[in-house]
Amino acid sequence: MKKIFLVLALMVVVVAVFGVEEITFWHTYSTNSGEYKLLTEKIIPEFEKLHPDIKVVETQVNYDDMRQRLIVSTATGELADVIRMDIIWVPQFGDIEVLLPLNKAFPNEFNKLKDQFLPGPLSTCYWNGNYYGLPLDTNTRVLLWNKKLFEEAGLDGPPETMEEFVNDIKLLTKDKDGDGQTDQWGYADYGLGPWNSIPWIYSFGGYILDPTNSKAEGYVNSDESIKALETFKDLYYDGYIADTVVGGGGIGTFEGYAEDVYAMIIAGPWSWPIIKGQYPDAEINFALFPAGKGGSKSVVGGEDIVISAFSEHKEAAWEFAKYMTSYEVQKAFVEVSQMPVRKDLVEDPIIQNHPYFHTFMKQLETAVARSPHPGWNQINDIMDLAWQNAIVADYNPDFALWEAAMDIEEVLSEFE
């Protein structure tokens, strides 16, 4: 009997010393993408070579199913050790203590690493004194302008200021076949939520929340924020902005841009492969979003890499998270069109020589993150509704935004 125990005890010790620690990694890289191929064929195997004691088991989840999966797994306490998560979810899951605060768990290392990241993407991990992740990849939206339509209208280049922008939008809207209905629009987008409206609001010099994310009144309804909405509303009412912004259906922004229906659209870096995939001959021209009183500002998108607070392999998970944000890995991902989050890659030739990343990287220098706040989903819907109220239901812009201010204040008070 004693012998058996001894053997068992020995086995436990052996596994603990020489055993391989397994960590799970959930991500939303689509399985037919170059990113997925790189991750599974190169990045993970190399990590395992560097850390023979750690094995990474990756699971691909469709973006549309990820949120559901995270919620269900939170309830059952069965989250993956490491997760690549949409930046706007991080504060929400951090707030319910599902994610590991990295600045508390690994204070020395975290503080050393922190400054290597671009500030916009890094800010998306922050909530209430804690950093709940490391930025992993980023993106933003820039202006796409149709050179052919610009030349037809006698314009020689993309608008650089807000005044030029508004002017060009009007010049580029036409009824080509003379049936009394517009068939070419100056500008198109596919919604009125903050993802769509932030470039307008912030370039006009407006805000949604104050810099500390604790106040809305006087910011979301500042004169500049109102002016942005007013300008957009007037353009829409006079027929210069396509109906797609209010969900009217019709030709999508990418297709419309390639088919010379929309002279200007605003889009992320993925527009390039999507448009080129459907219209290989389309000419795509990127430009910074036109600068207003607030400069040229756009909106930050992307993903963070987070560690589950439930994880039993936090150290191994941290090693993997650090590796994924390292110079080599970030650089490798650039080649499969993932934009890096590290400062030391901005000036790197790999970005500078990339066919279109440089405009996006330039735009990122000033891009605004959607306020990292656990109530963001509610704030997002309030902003969306306020813009819809003004644009669909003809509310006065300053009243619509005053209402939004009141509603956002109520959301903010929920988290005090």
Partner 1 sequence: MKREVRRKWAGFLFVLPGLLSYLIWTLYPIIKSFLMSLYKWNINPRIPNEFVGLSNYVKLFHDDKFYTALINTLKYVIVTVPGQMIIGLLIAVLLTRGLKGQTFFRLLYYLPVITSWVVVSVLFQYLFATRGGLVNYLLKDLLHLINRDIRWLAQENTAMIPIYVLGIWKGIGWSMLIFLAGLQGIPKQLYEAARIDGANGWMLLRKITIPMLRPVIAFQTVMLTIGGFNVFLSVYVITGGGPRNSTQVLSSYMFKEAFDYFHFGYGAAIAVIFFLIVFTIAQIQRKLFKREIY
Cα torsion 41, 44, 48, 54: sign: negative
Rounded to a whole number of angstroms, the minimum distance from the CB of residue 290 to partner 1 is 26
Of the candidate residues 247, 270, 276, 343, the single one contacting partner 1 (CB under 8 A): 247
Nearer to partner 1, 194 or 205 (CB): 194
- Tell which positions 359-388 bind partner 1, by CB under 8 A: 374-375, 377-378, 381, 384-385, 388
List of residues 6+ apart from 1 with CB closer than 8 A: none
When the beta carbons of 246 and 334 are compared against partner 1, the nearer one is 246
Query: Does 173 engage in binding with partner 1 (CB under 8 A)?
Result: no
Contact 390, 200 (CB under 8 A): no
Q: Cβ 322 to partner 1, closest distance in Å? A: 26
| Distances 212 to 76, 156, 161, 209, 403 between C-alpha atoms, Å | 33, 41, 28, 8, 21
Closest CA to 302 of 107, 48, 123, 147: 123
Q: Which two tokens stand for residue 154?
A: 């006698």
Nearest-angstrom CA–CA distance, 407 and 217: 10
Counting contacts by CB under 8 A, is residue 248 touching partner 1? Answer: yes
Nearer Cβ to partner 1, position 350 or 406? 406
CB closer to partner 1 out of 48 and 243: 243
In sequence order, what DSSP letters do the residues of 116-156 get, joined into one string? TB-HHHHHTTEETTEE--EEEEEEE-EEEE-HHHHHHTT--
Main-chain dihedrals φ then ψ at residue 308, nearest 5 degrees: -70, 140
Residues in region 387-406 near partner 1 by CB under 8 A: 388-389, 392-393
Query: Could you say whether residue 68 binds partner 1 (CB under 8 A)?
Result: yes
Closer CB to partner 1, residue 51 or residue 67? 67
Nearest to partner 1 of 287, 406 (CB atom): 406
From 358, 411, 52, 404, select the one nearest 217 (Cα to Cα): 404
Nearest CA to 341 among 105, 124, 88?
124
Q: Binders of partner 1: how many residues, by CB under 8 A?
A: 30
Cβ atoms < 10 Å from Cβ of 169 = 20
Give the 3-state secondary structure percentages of the chain, helix then strand then coil, rounded to 5: 50, 15, 35
Residue 248 CB, shortest distance to partner 1, in Å, is 4
Instruction: State which residue, 77 or 218, has the beta carbon closest to partner 1.
Output: 77
Q: Could you say which of 62, 63, 65, 77 contacts partner 1 (CB under 8 A)?
A: 77
Question: Could you say which of 181, 212, 353, 413 contacts partner 1 (CB under 8 A)?
Answer: 181
Which helix (H) or strand (E) element contains residue 56? strand 54-60
Q: What does the H/E/C string look like for 221-288? A: CCHHHHHHHHHHHHHHHCCCECHHHHCCCCCCHHHHHHCCCEEEEEECCCHHHHHHHHCCCCCCCEEC
Out of 97, 151, 344, 394, the only residue in the binding site for partner 1 (CB under 8 A) is 97
Q: How many CB atoms are located within 10 Å of the residue 223 CB? A: 12
How buried is residue 170: exposed, middle or buried, by Cβ count under 10 Å (0-12/13-18/19+)?
middle
For position 65 contacting partner 1 by CB under 8 A, the verdict is: no
Q: How far is the CB of 75 from partner 1 (least distance, A)?
A: 5
User: Token pair for residue 31?
Assistant: 């399985």
Nearest CA among 24, 83, 82 for reference residue 55? 24
Q: How far is the CB of 407 from partner 1 (least distance, A)?
A: 11
Contacts of 17 (CB under 8 A, 6+ apart): none
Q: Does 154 bind partner 1 (CB under 8 A)?
A: no
- Quick note: the x/- pattern for partner 1 over 260-299, rule CB under 8 A, is ----------------------------------------
Taking CB under 8 A as the rule, does residue 178 contact partner 1? no
Tell me the closest approach of the beta carbon of residue 321 to partner 1, in angstroms: 21
Binding segment (CB under 8 A) for partner 1, from list 68-76, 108-116, 327-335, 354-362:
68-76
CB of 157: closest distance to partner 1 in angstroms?
A: 29
Q: Which residues bind partner 1 (CB under 8 A)?
A: 67-68, 71, 74-77, 92, 96-98, 181, 243, 246-251, 374-375, 377-378, 381, 384-385, 388-389, 392-393
